């Protein structure tokens, strides 16, 4: 409803508007372990608590392989992802993306879980297009 309201207000103000709709595919798999640990430290989770996240949530030295009919693939070292079935997984994901809205000073950021919207209105269509393309770069 928020994005619909923004579009309606832009139309009423005779502005062009652009909405970019992002749906992060496999969002929990995109969480970079080093970035998350740095953010946890920034928010005061340091020392033993940070080490607990590092070890308990498998945020370091995490590996995976596939086994089918007693045949194993090679082991792959993982540097991204948090446990999706855990209680802390969603919280860690939110901590990971919470500063996304600071990535641009021109976009409005209606956010909901892993669905993100970028919205920008302007009275000049060419300026709107140029500004958005530059900002996305």
When pLDDT is cut at 50, 70 and 90, the band that residue 12 belongs to is very high
β-partners of residue 80 are: 32
Q: 3-state DSSP call for residue 58? A: coil
- Residue-wise pLDDT for 43-85, tens only, equals 999 999 888 888 866 676 778 889 999 899 999 888 888 877 7
The answer to which of 8-17, 29-38, 57-66, 117-126 has the lowest mean pLDDT is 57-66
Instruction: State the pTM of this model.
Output: 0.66
3-state helix, strand, coil in the chain (%, to 5): 45, 25, 35
Q: Where are the beta strands (DSSP E) in 1-137?
A: 16-23, 62-64, 67-68, 71-72, 76-78, 111-112, 115-122
Please list the alpha-helical segments (H only) found in 13-124.
33-42, 47-56, 88-97
What letter does residue 32 receive in the DSSP assignment? B
């Amino acid at each position: 409803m928020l994005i619909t309201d923004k579009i309606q207000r832009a139309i009423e103000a005779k502005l062009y508007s652009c909405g970019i709709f992002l749906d992060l595919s496999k969002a929990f798999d995109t969480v970079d372990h080093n970035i998350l640990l740095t953010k946890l430290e920034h928010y005061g989770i340091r020392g033993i608590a940070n080490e607990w996240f590092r070890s308990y949530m498998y945020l370091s030295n995490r590996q995976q392989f596939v086994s089918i009919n007693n045949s194993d693939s090679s082991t792959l070292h993982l540097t991204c992802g948090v446990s999706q079935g855990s209680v802390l997984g969603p919280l860690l994901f939110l901590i990971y993306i919470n500063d996304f809205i600071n990535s641009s000073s021109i976009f409005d950021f209606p956010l909901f879980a892993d669905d993100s919207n970028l919205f920008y209105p302007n009275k000049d269509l060419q300026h709107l297009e140029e500004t958005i393309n530059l900002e996305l770069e």
